[in-house]
Structure 1
Amino acid sequence: MSGRPARQFDRETRLRLRRVCLGLLSYLMFLVPMSIAVHAGSSTMGWSGVAVFTGLAVSINGVALAAIASGWSKRFADPSLLVPQLVAAMLLALGMIHFFEGEARSVLLLLFVAVFFFGLFGLDTRRYLLLTIGTAVGYAGLSTWELASAGASQDAWLMEALRFSALVVVTIWMSFIGGYFASIRRRVATQRKELEAANARLRELSIRDELTGLYNRRHLTERLEQESERSRRYGQGFSVALIDIDHFKAINDTHGHAVGDEVLVQFAAILRLQARFVDHVGQAPERTLGRFGGEEFMIILPGTPLAGARVCLERMRAAVARTPFETSAGPLVATFSAGLAEQREDEPSQALLQRADEALYRAKQAGRDRLES
């Protein structure tokens, strides 16, 4: 019997879960010095206290793990729940340190340092300093209450002041260092996003025709292969149209290539506008319209049989024929011829394209300004 498939987490969730596990590992590592202190008689918490500390640590991290793994934490501004975990760790450290005295207390103040290191995952300087203030106030309040209750000597007060000052100095410096690392992390993240955006722009430029802004031959060829593969896999046919502007060479020879470029740009704009009214073609993710080369254009019509493709192309042909091209040489009228082909079962994309090209040739031979299939 097959088991239930394991849940797949996204990259950010996996990272947050690993951080929580790292925090739990930090707690458990402190069981070693705590156990030594208890064994040496430097702590009043006893072994039952160690067990309580362990249970609380596991519970805190267990709640964080459950909240992150279930996606519940994503409703908050900080889905990693870093600040609540740090606050819980600080309170647990203060509660535990209360049961230690002498050198053991000084050593276990490193618990706070460990918590501050954990803050490197997401705290900026301001939040670090707030954490420092909270730690200082908490420890000062705990120490004052303990010393006053015990009627401690001046030496005991001085020793606690020494611990307090050392704790404040270390946590303040860690706040600035942690904030510095946070700023580096933000800059790296910003640069990564900028690089990804630049790569996306370069990718887009590499598949765009510079003159018309439509997709170029490279992208159309890739898109045709993708559509052919999808058709073979899911049995959904499609059609391809090759379009060629009639007598375009005469426009270049009579008015110059600059005017020819103006005609190409406006011709592409008409096709793009008409494509918006065509199912599938007008959807940006489909990317089915482009300049195939020179005055030749291609349209891929996913899920469209030959009859439907003919209706689409006739509408485009009529729109081009009735629209004058405003150029620097004055208004010009142009038409186009098109060859249509519908994919056959298991037909290679190049064979399909060849049939569309042959149909285009027949349209030219039959007098132009027409469609052939």
Structure 2
Amino acid sequence: MKVDGFRIGLVTVIVVLFGLCGLAAGMYMTQARHLVGADYTAMVTDVVRAQEDPVKLRLGLDSLLDSPDSIHIQQVSHLMWLIPQRMESLRHSLENSDLPSQGYAPLLEELDYVKQQLPTLGERVERVMDERTPANLDSLRVLGLEVEEGLAWSYSELNELLHQASAEQRRMMGWLSTAVLLLLSMLVVVVGGLALSLLQIHRQRERLRELSETDALTGLSNRRKMQEMAQHDFARAARQGGALSLLVLDLDLFKEVNDRFGHPAGDKVLKAVADVLVKRVRESDVVARMESDVVARMGGEEFAVLLPDTDRDAATRFAERIRGDIERIALPEPADAHAITVSIGIATAAPGEGFDALYTRADRALYRAKARGRNRLEHA
């Protein structure tokens, strides 16, 4: 259960990490696409609006040359006021941008020249209004065309410059986004690898702990695990006042099985005895704990069963059933004609007694059972 909890927690951390990285990457990509080139986009919008000015100026001057009218004069006058305002706004935006000045400096110079011509253009408009001579009309037409072409060329070049800069910025942001995603992926891989390594280390530690507490042949708890679990049971018995008994079992004349039929046959006998003990504990109504906690192989052919909430009489009945079960074990070939029996020592804990003292008394009772003929029970 501890391993499962650790694994679930680790997997949860990895999933959360992947989710956060994916969320961060998605938010970055969205915001990058949204914000990239925002300044350039604003300037492009201003340039596009400014590009309408030379067209409007041409139309206004043509209308004025054809028929001088107060409306046409107002339109031209408004444009000559608006054009310098747009120039200054664009100059301010360009000088505060990241664009290299050598790219837009010639364009600003051209716009400055056009701006200088606007007062002269205004004077020629007034001249035409005062006196519509062919010379005045030609003079206004020529200067108007010069101003219009200067504005149109400058704004067109500036528009192209800004589009190129915006496209370059988007390419750079694309590369940056790819780099960020790559770094996030590498981070996820590294953290995932570390997490898997930690999981593997944890599994190995759990496996080593399990091996240190488990008998490799039978799968039962070993002496160390039995002593560890006994501490909990003794503490519980002290708190709740319940009885606690211990059975120590030793197979009779087991050495003869190994000598006559070989150690492989002896190993099969030990496994069969372990299965009997586990089955009997699992079916018992006096043991509420798992069998791995209360059944142990103490070494060699010796086993122990710890019985929480079990008094002397109940432990005796339980031990007698085990003795009978073991006596009826059908041994594997070539020892199938041989019968195996067990001697059992029983001890019930006295108030304040610990596991070591209880085990010592049960072990002495076991040796009395051996001395009195084997295949029997003895109480401490």
Partner residue in 2 for 1:314: 320
1:287 corresponds to 2:293:
yes
1:305 shift after superposition: 2.0
* Residue number among 1, 14, 35 corresponding to 1:139 in the alignment: 35
Question: What is the Cα deviation at residue 357 of structure 1?
Answer: 1.2
Shift of 1:130: 4.5
Give the letter for the 2:35 counterpart.
Y
Q: Which residue of 2 aligns with 1:296?
A: 302
Partner of 2:21: 123
Shift in CA distance, 141/281, structure 1 to aligned 2, threshold 3 Å: farther
Cα separation, 1, equivalents of 2:163 and 2:260: 100
2:91 is aligned with 1:195: no
Which shows bigger deviation, 155-164 or 221-230?
A: 155-164
C-alpha contact 1:275 1:282 (8 A) present in aligned 2: no
Q: What is the CA-CA distance between 1:182 and the residue it aligns to?
A: 0.7
C-alpha offsets along residues 259-307 of structure 1, whole Å, 9 cap, x if unaligned?
A: 3232222111221222211257574486211111221100111222222
TM-score by length of 2: 0.59
**CA shift for structure 1 position 200:** 0.8
1:316-366 Cα offsets, whole Å, 9 max, x none, are 222112222123333422121211111111112211111111221232233
Structure 1 residue 205 displacement after superposition: 1.3
> Per-residue deviation at 1:197?
0.9
Q: Give the Cα separation in 1 of the matches to 2:264 and 2:16.
A: 56
Pairing of 1:162-181 with structure 2 (within 5 A): 162-181=168-187
- CA displacement, residues 212-237 of structure 1 (integer Å, 9 cap, x when unaligned): 22222222222223322333344343
> Helix, strand or coil: the match of 1:239?
strand
The AA in structure 2 aligned to 1:318 is: G
Which SS does the other structure have where 1:276 is aligned? helix
Alignment RMSD: 3.5
CA spacing shift, 1:317–1:204, aligned 2, 3 Å:
same
CA distance 1:187–1:284, shift in 2 (3 Å): farther
* TM-score (norm. length: structure 1): 0.60
Relative to structure 1, the CA distance from residue 367 to residue 189 in structure 2 (aligned partners, 3 Å threshold; closer, same or farther) is same
Q: Secondary structure at the match of 2:234?
A: helix
Alignment match of 2:228 (pick from 222, 227, 230): 222
Aligned to 2:77: none
Q: 1:357 aligns with which of 363, 367, 370?
A: 363
Tell me what 2:255 maps to: 249
Residues 260-275 of structure 1 mapped to structure 2, 5 A cutoff: 260-275=266-281
Shift of 1:252: 3.2
2:21 aligned partner, one-letter code: L
| Residue equivalent to 2:96 | none
More helix by share: 2
User: How far apart in 2 are the matches of 1:276 and 1:217?
Assistant: 20
Deviations 1:93-144 (A, max 9, x none): xxxxxxxxxxxxxxxxxxxxxxxxxxxxx426xx676455423432259668
Q: 2:213 aligns with which of 207, 210, 214?
A: 207
Could you tell me how far apart the structure 2 residues matched to 1:78 and 1:188 are?
14
Whether contact under 8 Å (1:132, 1:168) holds in the other structure is no
Quickly say closer, same or farther: Cα 1:183–1:279, change in 2 above 3 A.
Answer: farther
Separation in structure 1 between the aligned mates of residue 202 and residue 270 of structure 2, nearest angstrom: 32
Give 5+ residue unaligned stretches, structure 2: 7-11, 49-157
Secondary structure at 1:261 match in 2: helix
Match of 2:66 in 1: none
Which residue of the other structure, out of 317, 330, 334, is the alignment partner of 1:328? 334
